[in-house]
Amino acid sequence: MVEALPGDRIHAFPGGLKLRHHKAVACEHPVKRPALPDRLYIQILQHQGESGELLVTDGDRVRAGQALTSAGDDFIVPEHAPTSGTIETITDHPAAFPPGGTQRAIVLVPDGRDEWVECRPVADWHNASPGTLIDHLHQSGLAGMGGAMFPTAAKLRGDWPQLRTVILNGAECEPWIACDEMLMRERAQDVIEGGLILARAAGAERVVIAIEDRMGVVDDRLRAARQALGAEDSVRIRKVFTVYPEGGERQLIQALTGREVPHDGLPQDLGVVVHNVATAAAARDAVLEGRPLIERIVTVTGPGIAQPRNFLTLIGTPFSHLVDSAGGYAEPVSRLILGGPMSGTALASDAIPVTKGSNCILALTERETAPTQPTMPCINCGECVRVCPARLLPQTLFRLIEAENLDAAADYDLSDCIECGCCAAVCPSHIPLVDYYRHGKDELVRRRLDRRRAALAKRRYEAREERLARQKAERQARRKAREEKLKRPEKAQDEIQAAIERAKQNKKT
């Protein structure tokens, strides 16, 4: 067991980059709630795992907070109605993941009344059992809001006797994204209360809130909120270096503890569990107010946006509606990105809706996206190795994936790549390295699925052959028995005569 966070020392992690923030432009104004859109498109799968069963159908009238899909195990997270209205249809709708693809979505037409189901908070949560809190968070639809969308209950539940610390990740290190910073500015006390709830659910002793060293306003407000709650002994606020990708889970743990999460291990092995600050605020809303996760703050920004700002947005709101709420496009946009410029996903359309993991809509113009030079062959400069925070060999992985030697790429720990984009940012040959890594990982997943399907098909084939062989043996046994019987006519005749005699005897009596 590693004693997490001894003292206040901040440790360095390998690699990383210092980048321009571009955050101030979206932080000039308070978080705003946009007008209600004409339709909400609630994806039935917004987390890592499987979707629940649909609980509504076309024409149903629903209230805000009503479950639209069922909850199952910890990897089947329910979805809820963000407001009251009528279910228009359930259909495939453009989605951010898979890129350029679609997801099944519930189309809700709001009625403008915002009528709610009865909210059920947890009474006396300080004395509630961890299991009770985890179950409540799960039924409230909580999944990680930092982008990974890992089910909150799955991260909290488990036998972790060495768990001591809940880390709230407020190190929003990627340029342009400012939703977490604005959340901590405006709801500092809610973030701390949510952190204490998560600590109770995890059986942890303390909460550590990690913020960037440039967040002076956030630091002041968190400390004031901590004092107001009387939580100085159980909540610590730590400033980490503003180095990208400091906000990555493993990089943040290393910065705070000086220890690396093992290649095949989990943060819990070091006595910590990490949650995004927005997840903490959502946990507070679920437990103290009984409100499921139906909204989040989204940063709408970039050179292509007329009036960048942060919006408190209902889940299912189309990106186009948020762009319009930010004054529309200031000039032609060449690339629309979900997330930041380093690790975000390019979008094919602004019809894509907000999900629980949507943190930023970034609109870039031709000035920011036009390539300065064409892609050239790798020159083995080693810059990508120097900046890789996962201690990988990016140029080796690139060559292996380019040659479709994916098994070898897997041996070189391709799965450990966090797709931060540092390698591509410093590559003098302008090779889109992250695109190769994503392709390689997706292909490895596809191959694993193919192998599983093949193994399943083999088992089905073998079971069928075994069943056919058994049936054939049974038929042969029956046929052999009949043949044996026919070979003994005297015995058969005796049995017939005995039956006749019994019948005659019965008639006499």
Same-domain pairing of 258 and 405: no
Which pTM value belongs to this model?
0.86
- 15 assigned to some structural domain: no
Residue predicted with more confidence, 381 or 1: 381
Out of 288, 314, 340, a domain closes at 314
Out of 266, 297, 314, a domain closes at 314
Same-domain pairing of 164 and 289: yes
Same-domain pairing of 247 and 383: no
- 340 assigned to some structural domain: no
Measured over the CA atoms of residue 21, residue 24, residue 26 and residue 27, the dihedral's sign is positive
Same-domain pairing of 34 and 181: yes
Same-domain pairing of 80 and 174: yes
- 389 assigned to some structural domain: yes
pLDDT tens per residue across span 39-67 = 999 999 999 999 999 999 999 999 999 99
CB-CB contact of 92 with 102 (8 Å): yes
Q: Looking at the 3D structure of the chain, how many domains does it have?
A: 2
Helix (H, G, I), strand (E, B) or coil at 273: strand
HSE of 58, CA atoms in CB hemisphere, 13 A: 4
- 355 assigned to some structural domain: no
Same-domain pairing of 156 and 261: yes
Q: Residue 31 belongs to a domain with what CATH number? A: 3.40.50.11540
HSE of 470, CA atoms in CB hemisphere, 13 A: 6
Range of the domain at 440: 378-508
- 343 assigned to some structural domain: no
Out of 314, 341, 356, a domain closes at 314
Same-domain pairing of 169 and 291: yes
Quote the tokens at residue 169.
């990740």
Give 152's contacts (C-beta < 8 A, 6+ positions apart): 137, 138, 142, 143, 144, 275, 279, 283
pLDDT tens per residue across span 252-274 = 999 999 999 988 889 999 999 99
Same-domain pairing of 303 and 385: no
pLDDT tens per residue across span 204-221 = 999 999 999 999 999 999
pLDDT tier at 2, thresholds 50, 70, 90 = very low
Q: Which residues are bridge partners to 490 per DSSP? A: none
- 367 assigned to some structural domain: no
- 392 assigned to some structural domain: yes
Give the C-alpha distances (Å, rounded to integers) separating 216 from 223, 233, 236.
Answer: 11, 22, 15
Same-domain pairing of 177 and 250: yes
Specify the pLDDT at position 504: 75
Same-domain pairing of 159 and 300: yes
Q: Which of 372, 365, 364 is nearest to 425 (CA)?
A: 372
Same-domain pairing of 269 and 382: no
Q: Which of 130, 400, 396, 480 is nearest to 287 (CA)?
A: 130
Same-domain pairing of 152 and 301: yes
Q: Is the peptide bond before 308 cis (omega within 30 degrees of 0)?
A: no
Q: Is the peptide bond before 303 cis (omega within 30 degrees of 0)?
A: no
pLDDT tens per residue across span 151-176 = 999 999 987 778 899 999 999 999 99
Give the C-alpha distances (Å, rounded to integers) separating 292 from 63, 120, 295, 440.
Answer: 12, 10, 9, 37
- 366 assigned to some structural domain: no
CA angle, residues 99, 457, 446, in degrees to nearest 5: 20
